[in-house]
Structure 1
């Protein structure tokens, strides 16, 4: 009987212990202040040393991408609704942008601007979200199916299965990398 009680206690300990582990669906990364960002069940979390902030928007569907290049302007892209939400460092909404065209990729550009890949126009555009329009556009991109876009403040790279197109801050094609 004593052995049975010990076994029951042992199994209940393992059961309780295993339930305390939360699965992190997607670890996004860290900012320069060493705050961690992750997504659980379509909610963005920011874990700082002394607090935990979160942001969720169920009306826009699943988060397609998150750009942390500037932790003061975090960019969330929701492709289901062609929408971008820009958050401050406390995960409060700064801007809510609804695009009319089909947007495949969004990355943070310089101040108040976003690099977007407009699928309908087949162009990369530098979109100013304060004046609500594209200020610069690339030439039409033909015979190329992008699978990913990567960028920083001064350049953007459109990545395909066989090659990568590299553009400068004025959206001039400066390099084609075959892979």
Structure 2
């Protein structure tokens, strides 16, 4: 009986340990600034945020700003290429391309396209093109911004795109049923899996995400459906950004950067 009791307690302790598995993030530094939302940082170490609908870029020595009063609210900013930023104004069906000093390179109003486009998602793709989710046709396409040509690459699909993200080769999104899908530049759509409920989410690989639920940050991998709590100092926070093993936690007073190594 004594041996059985010890064995039971051993498995109970093991269960608790698995449920409370945490990764401890190591604090690097804190940057103070007033912002409404934090976008992220680029490969050159510059930080991007929005204050009063002005896009602000800041490094250690200089600050740049871009504002367009006629287009109103900024919906999304793509930082993939710091020399060619994509600023999306969904309410005006417009994208603005900016250089590394936030000078306007090109403004694209999709309402003026020969093929009707109502863009509800967009980002930078490979080869002078933009990813576009055209909600009029419920299809994903590629827009060549040098030739002003749009090409649809998927069949129509049912379901609303909630959060989405893009890189040069893929457009990925999560629908209202928590299904995580992606589309390549040839139009092939793959369902990667189902993700947990979240308030904010960021994909960091083909099978891994970091997400916020309440005031807790989690790492989740589709491989084994494993969830791990990421522990850091802030008790409450607005958003986060992860890149190159650096985790930025945003509050309205600025960001705190942490080092975290994800296996």
TM-score normalised per structure 2: 0.57
| SS of residue in 1 equivalent to 2:70 | helix
State the partner residue of 1:112: 128
| SS of residue in 2 equivalent to 1:80 | helix
- Tell me if 1:38 matches 2:49: yes
User: Could you list the runs of 4 or more consecutive aligned residues of structure 1 that deviate by over 6 angstroms after TM superposition?
Assistant: none
- Tell me if 1:145 matches 2:156: no
CA distance in 1, matches of 2:151, 2:74: 26
- Tell me if 1:55 matches 2:66: yes
- Tell me if 1:80 matches 2:95: no
Q: Would you say how many aligned residue pairs link Structure 1 and Structure 2?
A: 158
Q: Alpha-carbon deviation of 1:158?
A: 2.4
Unaligned runs of 5+ in 1: 1-20
State the partner residue of 2:105: 94
Task: Indicate conservation of the 8 Å contact 2:139/2:152, yes or no.
Answer: no
Higher RCO (CA-CA < 8 Å; seq separation 6+): 2
| SS of residue in 2 equivalent to 1:59 | coil
State the partner residue of 1:25: 36
Q: Which structure has greater helix proportion?
A: 1
Q: Alpha-carbon deviation of 1:71?
A: 0.7
State the partner residue of 1:172: 188
Superposed CA deviations along residues 48-100 of structure 1, whole A, max 9, x for unmatched, are 22211100001001001111011111110001110000101010111100012
| SS of residue in 1 equivalent to 2:172 | strand
TM-score normalised per structure 1: 0.83
- Tell me if 1:128 matches 2:128: no
CA distance in 1, matches of 2:187, 2:43: 28
Which segment drifts farther, 166-175 or 96-105? Answer: 166-175
Unaligned runs of 5+ in 2: 1-31, 112-116, 196-263
CA distance in 2, matches of 1:149, 1:124: 12
Q: Alpha-carbon deviation of 1:130?
A: 0.7
CA distance in 2, matches of 1:116, 1:149: 11
| SS of residue in 1 equivalent to 2:81 | coil
CA distance in 1, matches of 2:62, 2:87: 21
